Amino acid sequence: MIAHGEAAPAELLAVGSELTAGLRQDTNTLWLCGELRALHLRVARVTSLPDRIGVIAAEIGAACSRSALLIVTGGLGPTTDDRTLEGLAQGLGVRRRVHPEARAWLQEALPGKRRELSEALLRQVRLPVGARPLRNRRGTAPGLLLESGKSLLVALPGVPDEMRGLWQDEVFPELATRFPVAGKTRRRVVVGGLRESEVDGMAAPVCLRRGVDCTILAGGGVVELHLEGHGEAVISALHELRILLAHDLISCDGSSLEETVLAAARSRGGHLAVAESCTGGRVAARLTAVPGASDVFLGSLVVYSDDLKRGLLDVPDMVLRRHGAASQEAARAMVEGLRRRTGCRWGVAVTGIAGPQGSGRGKPVGSVWFAAAGPAGVVSRRRRFPGGRHRVQDEAAGMALDLLRRTVLSGGSEA
């Protein structure tokens, strides 16, 4: 839950038919939302529209009457489907004119000393009257800044690299001056081993009591809480949550589950390894996404077939025949073989039924078995995850990492 303070409302508008046709994920607005949050500007609406002048114009008119800030991305380039400038001019009821400064930038950017600018190139610098151009050092299309009534309008090119560059060089400094930030704090809390509803039931009253805004997100085997509010209130909520969550608290300093596992092993001077069946390499992929993982992570044996479980991890044939590869016994044998074969101090094994096939004998799709081992012995768990194959694989990978974390932290004994 995010409560909305009195921060100035902002809107984002992403222009491009590739977005509404489902061909390209718009990542610009997500990034901009994060940037605006850092400025404590509340995003009231994010809209994507196709490259049609009429709808762009109507939306710009409406947005300027609703919000203090409108940021438009995309449609500023030289091709015929770049229509944002026309939409802007029409929406604000102003003309367009070639902006001499922007034209000079364009000419400088051209290779050689070509004097003639093509009509296509000139389209990019035919700006709505009253606009201040923003120099794009990574491409040809300038951005622009424009006051309209009580609103500030910013337009940026859609190429992510150009958009971010212009934002950082030109727009962020301007906004930081116009909208000075209040004394608020923001913290991310990562929780393992609990369901989203359980975490919500714990956190909601703690935050409500202190007037702290709390957003809850689940995925990849963990639950995240994003707290926001006045400094002392957030710190005091964190303090209470730390006690309530105990060992289920993975981090509250912004670290991810993977980073936490690697850091715990590093500070204890031991190495980690993984044996994966149903997660098929996802545990290893998450650990190796962290730069510098190689100093504590040895590797993962992705033993998808029974032959490899026997051959690489010495899982006894009898275990596979009597209990099946998806079983507690197999998970324990896998982690024991893993420690022997790799010499890791801590290891985790995961095996189960990701689906859609493979269920049977009281083992429905989504059933996953885990075993973690360290100097103090082996612990094991069984969980059943809802959802399809990919969700089961992702959640199981997170659960394996969390069990590994608990094992490292406890020195290897029962977590």
Of residues 145-204, which lie at the interface with a second copy (CB under 8 A)? Answer: 159, 161-162, 164-165, 196-197, 200, 204
> 3-state DSSP call for residue 214?
strand
Using CA atoms, how far residue 250 sits from 145, 206, 223, 245, 288, in Å, is 43, 18, 10, 9, 19
| Choice from 57, 302, 330, 334 touching a second copy (CB under 8 A) | 302
Residue 84 is a binding residue for a second copy (CB under 8 A): no
Stretch that binds a second copy, among 15-23, 96-104, 229-237, 326-334 (CB under 8 A): 15-23
Report, in Å, the least distance between residue 198 CB and a second copy: 11
Distances 363 to 188, 253, 317, 384, 394 between C-alpha atoms, Å: 36, 38, 20, 9, 19
Please name which of 332, 373, 331, 337 lies closest in space to residue 352, comparing C-alpha atoms.
331
Q: State the nearest-atom distance from the C-beta of 202 to a second copy, in Å.
A: 12
Instruction: Verify binding: residue 301, a second copy, rule CB under 8 A.
Output: yes
Residue for token pair 């290893």: 284
Pair of tokens at residue 282: 């996802």
Total residues binding a second copy (CB under 8 A): 101
Shortest spacing between CB 378 and a second copy, in angstroms: 21
**359-388 footprint of a second copy as x/- string (CB under 8 A):** ---------------------------xxx
Sites for a second copy among residues 219-238 (CB under 8 A): 226
Q: In the complex with a second copy, which residue's Cβ is closer, 56 or 131?
A: 56
Contact indicator for 355, 388 with CB cutoff of 8 Å: yes
Contact pick of 341, 380, 409, 410 for a second copy (by CB under 8 A): 341
Cβ pair 282, 393 in contact under 8 A: yes
CB 168, min distance to a second copy, A: 10
Q: Which of residues 244-273 bind a second copy (CB under 8 A)?
A: 271, 273
What tokens were used for 108?
């400088």
Q: What is the residue type of 262?
A: L
Q: Token digits for 296?
A: 């504590």
CB count, 10 Å around CB of 102?
24
